[in-house]
Amino acid sequence: MSGGGAAGGAGAGAPRRRGAALEAAIFDATLDLLTSGGFARLTMEGVAGAAQTGKAALYRRWSSKADLVVGALGATLPSVTDIPDLGSVRAEMLQLMAGFGELMNSRAGTAIRVLMAELDQEQAEAFRDFLLRQVIQPANAAMLRILGRGERRGDVRRGAAVPIVADVAPAMLLYHAKVCEGPLDMAFCLDLVDEVLVPMVRA
């Protein structure tokens, strides 16, 4: 006779998770295996084993490991939040950059950095739309709002609140994360704001 549930990968003594609890366990396992071993070594079988569930439970929800990774990132990545009016473009930029740094240093952000370092252009296509939708576009929109307020206050030069200027901050942060591999800490955020962003838009 077959081993029933054990043959499915869950194991005889595995906890029987369902719904949100099972999904959370799968996402935890996905991020753990991705950050420790990279995308190339990540397998659906490995995730199922680490989450103590059957491989079929994964394939019912996600058709491939790329779909699974996007699902795990989307469920766990902190959002880029809007910045309130703090009365100064520098203060608002610092808060936005600090939040972006926290995002990229989070568990899901660390997984994104692993993906950026490992995947070539063709492989990265599966994650490009996610990165644009969840990270880059919200950061650009928040920066545009900061620049627009700064124009109205007079501490940002007129005409600076345009998409190409708003692109600079997330581009610098992603470049630093992918190429320089340095920490996205407050010291880096201060340098980025004081040495690049504020001089670039100063009235």
Q: Write out the E strands in the chain.
A: none
Query: Which residue, among 120, 97, 106, 93, has the nearest Cα to 38 in the 3D structure?
Result: 120
Tens digits of residue pLDDT in 148-202:
999 999 999 999 999 999 999 988 888 887 777 666 788 889 999 999 999 999 9
What are the backbone angles phi and psi of residue 57, rounded to the nearest 5°?
-65, -30
Of the chain, the percentage scoring pLDDT greater than 90 comes to 58
Q: Is it the case that residue 3 has pLDDT exceeding 50?
A: no
Tokens standing for 13? 């003594």
**Given pLDDT bands bounded at 50, 70 and 90, which one contains residue 4?**
very low
Q: Is it the case that residue 44 has pLDDT exceeding 80?
A: yes
**In terms of pLDDT, which residue wins out, 72 or 8?**
72
Tens digits of residue pLDDT in 59-85:
999 999 999 999 999 999 988 888 999
CATH topology of domain 78-201: Tetracycline Repressor; domain 2 (1.10.357)
Give the mean model confidence (pLDDT) for residues 33-62. Answer: 94
Please, where in the chain does CATH 1.10.357.10 lie?
4-74, 78-201
What are the backbone angles phi and psi of residue 124, rounded to the nearest 5°?
-75, -10
Exposure b/e, 114-140, CB count within 10 A at least 16 = b: bbbeebeeeeeebbeebbeebbbebbb
Superfamily designation of domain 4-74: Tetracycline Repressor, domain 2 (1.10.357.10)
The whole-number pLDDT of residue 182 equals: 65
